[in-house]
């Protein structure tokens, strides 16, 4: 009886924590929507279509996971200055540009993104290329803004790190591997490297930019780097799992695509069960990096569960 009650209480607490987390995630996503809406250039002049397309791509959807990680990492370390939201918006602009370009006919040729037509479908290819360019360029303008943080040297560090995370040795490099290395040459090591670059680099940037803004110590930064790497890879494995198991309506983009294309993914290489185990193990390891932060790390811990349990 006692154990049953305790177990029920445990479940109840878990559910409460879950609700708190979901509310927090929604709250940050709503804030990000508002910050992006306020800061993205307003449609103006003979070129207003480009501001329209940039806003179309960036507003109205997305989990805002990268901004969330930045904001929550800073908050865990006691830093809640609203400048973090501006830096987070810059990161989101860079992430969104990569989606717009990845969706192009010459790349993944996707028609659907975040549940609505991709930019080249809603506008055209040229506008999609330029809207992506505009968002990438604007990310650096936002990040350099004094509203992000009073210290110019710190903002400059954020600029450098974002350029590295998004560049040929980071995200772009991952996309290049993804479109050029043939399926037959992909083993687990290559796919891991590909994902570390393509997805992991920006997730890590989110966490470490939050740490930098909050003035984290070198030791804290290293722990957070470990956390970011593990949650980033877990996120990608879960993405591959969702491509096999997911519902297109929930996922917001085509599913079963990797399998149809005969694409090598964590699921096709490891099998569904092993992939699930691996994601779970990475989740446990991600949380272990947070032990040093004690109870303050609750939201970042819950983010691991969210990443692994999400249906989209």
Q: Which residues bind a copy of itself (CB under 8 A)?
A: 41, 45-47, 49-51, 54, 97, 101, 104, 106-107, 124-127, 129-130, 132-134, 136-138, 140-141, 144-145, 152-153, 155-156, 159-160, 162-164, 166-169, 172-177, 179-181, 190, 193-194, 197
CB of 291: closest distance to a copy of itself in angstroms?
33
Pairing between β-strand 116-117 and β-strand 112-113 as defined by DSSP bridges: antiparallel
CB of 279: closest distance to a copy of itself in angstroms?
24
User: Which residues are 117's β-sheet partners?
Assistant: 112
In a 3-state reduction of DSSP, which class is residue 266? helix
- Is residue 199 within 8 A of residue 59, CB to CB? The reply is no
Measured distance CA(34)–CA(165) in Å, rounded? 25
CB of 148: closest distance to a copy of itself in angstroms?
10
Measured from the CB atom, the residue of 111 and 309 that comes closer to a copy of itself is 111
Measured distance CA(164)–CA(310) in Å, rounded? 29
Measured from the CB atom, the residue of 10 and 105 that comes closer to a copy of itself is 105
Measured from the CB atom, the residue of 167 and 256 that comes closer to a copy of itself is 167
CB of 215: closest distance to a copy of itself in angstroms?
17
Measured from the CB atom, the residue of 32 and 162 that comes closer to a copy of itself is 162
Measured from the CB atom, the residue of 159 and 248 that comes closer to a copy of itself is 159
CB of 98: closest distance to a copy of itself in angstroms?
8
Measured distance CA(61)–CA(29) in Å, rounded? 9
Q: Is 50 left (phi over 0), alpha (psi -120 to 50) or beta?
A: alpha
CB of 308: closest distance to a copy of itself in angstroms?
28
Measured from the CB atom, the residue of 22 and 47 that comes closer to a copy of itself is 47
Measured distance CA(88)–CA(86) in Å, rounded? 5
Q: Burial, 225: exposed, middle or buried (Cβ in 10 Å; 0-12, 13-18, 19+)?
A: middle
């Amino acid at each position: 009886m006692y154990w049953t009650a305790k177990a029920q209480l445990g479940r109840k607490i878990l559910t409460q924590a879950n609700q708190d987390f979901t509310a927090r995630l929604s709250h940050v996503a709503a804030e990000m929507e508002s910050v992006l809406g306020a800061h993205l250039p307003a449609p103006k002049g003979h070129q207003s279509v480009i501001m329209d397309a940039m806003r179309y791509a960036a507003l109205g959807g997305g989990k805002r996971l990268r901004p969330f990680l930045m904001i929550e990492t800073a908050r865990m370390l006691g830093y809640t200055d609203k400048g973090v939201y501006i830096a987070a918006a810059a990161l989101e602009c860079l992430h969104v540009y990569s989606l717009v370009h990845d969706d192009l006919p010459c790349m993944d040729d996707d028609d659907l993104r975040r549940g609505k037509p991709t930019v080249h479908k809603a506008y055209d290819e040229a506008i999609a290329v330029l809207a992506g360019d505009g968002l990438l360029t604007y990310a650096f303008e936002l990040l350099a803004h004094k509203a992000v943080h009073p210290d110019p040297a710190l903002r400059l560090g954020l600029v450098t790190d974002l350029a590295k995370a998004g560049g040929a040795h980071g995200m772009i490099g991952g996309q290049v591997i993804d479109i050029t290395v043939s399926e037959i040459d992909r083993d687990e090591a290559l796919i891991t490297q590909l994902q570390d670059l393509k997805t992991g680099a920006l997730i890590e940037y989110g966490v470490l930019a939050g740490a930098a803004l909050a003035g984290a110590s070198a030791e804290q930064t290293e722990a957070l780097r470990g956390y970011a790497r593990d949650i980033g890879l877990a996120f990608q494995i879960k993405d591959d799992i969702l491509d096999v198991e997911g519902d297109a309506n929930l996922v917001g983009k085509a599913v079963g695509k990797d399998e149809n294309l005969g694409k090598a993914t964590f699921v096709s290489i490891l099998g569904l069960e092993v992939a699930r185990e691996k994601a779970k193990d990475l989740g446990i390891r991600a949380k272990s990096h947070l032990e040093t932060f004690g109870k303050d790390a609750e939201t970042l811990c819950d983010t691991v569960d969210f990443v692994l349990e999400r249906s989209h």
